[in-house]
Amino acid sequence: MEIIIASDAAGVAMAAADIVTDLVRAKPNAVLGLATGSSPLGLYAELAARVARGLDLSAVSGFALDEYVGLAPDDPRSYAHVIRSCVTEPLGLDPQKVHVPVGVGDDLQAACQLYDDAIAGAGGIDLQVLGIGRNGHLGFNEPSSSPESRTRVASLAESTRQDNARFFDEPDAVPVQCVTQGLGTIMDARRTLLIATGAAKADSIALAIEGPVSTSCPASVLQRHPNAVVVCDRDAAAKLTRVSA
């Protein structure tokens, strides 16, 4: 596992964007796994600035990590909306090549299988962008998730619902279920890029990188990935003992 420690969030965004830029220049039709949440927003903003300066991402395909169950794609609280407004449009991606799990419908599990099939049909994910939850979750793979899990309907931990309540008018409005790529789906990516900033992520980063590989910290499974990179700032790296922050 490669660890890159930047001085601040801006440095994290730059370092992560360099990784994406290098990939796309080598493979213009690269397939990206797209994390939602706050962790990757700096990366997406930096990539948008580079697109404005001439970086061409128009041939890139994308697959989002997760979606809330019960929110339609046009709901402003949905991750489909976030991906459109923060990724597809500012990065100049083809909307037909950007996919988000379906959170509404009569047979969500069948839709989950179709999502994994679509990833495989695109040739697999070249670079999976990831954030990490305070409880160590990846995507919405909460503690106790199986390392072999595939895209599926899952329940959200109460701590995750509390963390995400700021995006909703009231805490009770936060969905209790989600559709998420599984840990097995994530681990199929040829490279993973985990982004973390801020002191609130220090405990989970330390467990993910230096703790035992355990279902109690889903992100620790990345220790077993052959090409994993973590980009974090000094605050998020503060509790690491085997690298210098």
Instruction: List, by residue number, the catalytic residues.
Output: 66, 135, 137, 142
Concatenated DSSP letters of 131-168: ---TT--BTTB-TT--TT--SEEEEPPHHHHHHHGGGS
Residue type at position 103: G
Kindly report the three-state secondary structure assignment for every residue of 191-215: CEEEEECCHHHHHHHHHHHHCCCEC
The pLDDT profile of the chain, 245 residues, written as one tens digit per residue, is 999 999 999 999 999 999 999 999 999 999 999 998 889 999 999 999 999 999 999 999 999 999 999 999 999 889 999 999 999 999 999 999 999 999 998 899 999 999 999 999 999 999 999 999 989 999 999 999 999 999 999 998 888 888 878 878 787 788 888 999 999 999 999 999 999 999 999 999 999 999 999 999 999 999 999 999 999 999 999 999 987 65
| Domain annotation for the chain: domains and CATH numbers | 2-138+149-233 (3.40.50.1360)
**Short-list 219, 156, 193, CA closest to 15:** 193
Question: What's the chain's Rg over C-alpha atoms?
Answer: 17
Q: What is the pLDDT of residue 245?
A: 59
In Å, how far are 47, 107, 163, 184, 205 from 210, measured between CA atoms? 30, 39, 24, 21, 8
Asked if 123 and 30 count as a contact pair (C-beta separation under 8 A), the reply is no
Tell me the pairing of strands 152-155 and 177-180.
antiparallel
